Structure 1
């Protein structure tokens, strides 16, 4: 732990193992990535963390909290663990953190995977965020009750009503608070990578779900087109939180991508 920043490292313990760092979306907590941990831990050192102001990193965020502040949190963790570089996987807001980090400290990243991300906020996503802010103004309960509608497909929600109820109760118990959520969402909505995207030279995977209600799939397509060294993939099902609603195809795509990148980088080092 660094001050108010909580993280967990697991998986391989040998120093030669590549490091994968997972950054979640607006919820901010590392437990979001539970369905990915076992398969990643068999090959990598894996870092999950609670973003500042959420979960075990609870604190009151300052006004003006920014995406650059979120990117610097990752640097703090890497410095604390004496890790020079990591493969970064970010979901939505987490992906925007990774893209921002790639411009602030490119030497700290080996590769970057962005899940359901964007270059600049789409009008539809803006409307969804504004609705969520209005719900938050009404009550935290209204916000949390509506949240799964933006994350998961309708048929999945129908089949997992009990799981969603448990998830809502857990989120209520560990809720980041209205102020922090507003600060983090404001930072996210202001982020525009139009002018910096072409400078990102890392190998990038851009992955989206065709049925994402919150972020239209074509936002990822535009993002991939603007990155010099990107690979674009999409899945047909899973919604915004596809890594949780349908983890098997997601895990296959991610591990195949990481295997390819790490193999290429090892070969380049031996030339």
Structure 2
């Protein structure tokens, strides 16, 4: 799989891995990179079947498969311990990873994730799937920001969204890949495994998230032995992009709790 490694080169620097949502590509994390690279070696990757990680995904694909793929990537990079930050699907990959490979994770952050699919999330996913199947890729991509961003942010960033839409259509992961990844996500049910996940986990929620109601993150944290919850008031489903000035300091504080000796980028000792 395609990955990129950047950030702190100190031999004592710990590793942070970033796992994006249904889009699957690493560019989602640009608003967090500068902050993370001060302290950590940062690994971003394109999930299998997306972006630079070309491949065909067939029916029967599971979230556990995505977790195994990430574990394989980390093994190939000789990373045996890391912090994982995952957005939605990426966070659910992290939870499956914590269950299947518990020694791999120092800490976990799940942004707008869930235990089992909420009826509102299912409704949104069904609409998006129907758009893709019945109206095509351009209609799917054009509608996608409505589920990610608040209305005022959409209005203020019209030119940027137009550029992103053109890029996403040109680099679309493929209808079959997206549908099978979406079906895997919708079928995931963590109810029976959360109590056995002991990785310290921060569940981020957002009050105005249209796609994943905020109570899903609260319930997720409550059912994890070492779960904590933070709720932002604004930013929509992609609040790490739309309100990174609020999001980033919370993330930084969490990570430094579990990497208290993290060297600053200019620390040469």
TM-score (norm 1): 0.94
Name the CA distance, whole Å, in 1 between partners of 2:256 and 2:131.
42
**Larger RCO: Structure 1 or Structure 2 (Cα < 8 Å, ≥ 6 residues apart)?**
2
Q: Deviation of residue 14 (structure 1)? A: 2.7
- Please list, as runs of the form range in 1=range in 2, the aligned pairs for 1:76-155 lying within 5 A after superposition: 76-137=72-133, 138-155=135-152
Pair 256,247 (structure 1): closer, same or farther in 2 beyond 3 Å:
same
Query: Does structure 1 retain, via aligned residues, the 8 Å contact 2:58–2:176?
Result: no
- Please list, as runs of the form range in 1=range in 2, the aligned pairs for 1:202-217 lying within 5 A after superposition: 202-217=199-214
Q: Deviation of residue 15 (structure 1)? A: 3.0
Name the CA distance, whole Å, in 2 between partners of 1:156 and 1:37.
21
Aligned counterpart in structure 2 of residue 21 of structure 1, from 8, 11, 17: 17
Query: Does structure 1 retain, via aligned residues, the 8 Å contact 2:88–2:110?
Result: yes
Query: Does structure 1 retain, via aligned residues, the 8 Å contact 2:115–2:220?
Result: yes
What is aligned with 1:55? 51
Aligned counterpart in structure 1 of residue 7 of structure 2, from 7, 11, 19: 11
Please identify runs of 4+ aligned residues in structure 1 that moved more than 3 A.
none
Aligned length: 261
Aligned counterpart in structure 1 of residue 198 of structure 2, from 197, 201, 208: 201
Residues 90-133 of structure 1, C-alpha deviations (whole Å, 9 max, x = no match): 00000000000011111111110000000000011001000000
What is aligned with 2:29? 33
Name the CA distance, whole Å, in 2 between partners of 1:232 and 1:140.
35
Q: Deviation of residue 264 (structure 1)? A: 9.0
What is aligned with 1:192? 189
Aligned counterpart in structure 2 of residue 67 of structure 1, from 40, 63, 67: 63
Name the CA distance, whole Å, in 1 between partners of 2:53 and 2:78.
20
- SS of residue in 1 equivalent to 2:6: strand
TM-score (norm 2): 0.95
- SS of residue in 2 equivalent to 1:46: strand
Q: Deviation of residue 63 (structure 1)? A: 2.2
Gaps of at least 5 residues in structure 2 are 263-269
Aligned counterpart in structure 1 of residue 252 of structure 2, from 252, 255, 266: 255
- SS of residue in 2 equivalent to 1:55: coil
Gaps of at least 5 residues in structure 1 are 266-271
Name the CA distance, whole Å, in 2 between partners of 1:254 and 1:107.
22
- Please list, as runs of the form range in 1=range in 2, the aligned pairs for 1:168-247 lying within 5 A after superposition: 168-247=165-244
- SS of residue in 1 equivalent to 2:60: coil
Q: Deviation of residue 59 (structure 1)? A: 1.5
Q: Given the alignment of the two structures, is residue 44 of structure 1 paired with residue 40 of structure 2, yes or no?
A: yes
Name the CA distance, whole Å, in 2 between partners of 1:123 and 1:228.
25
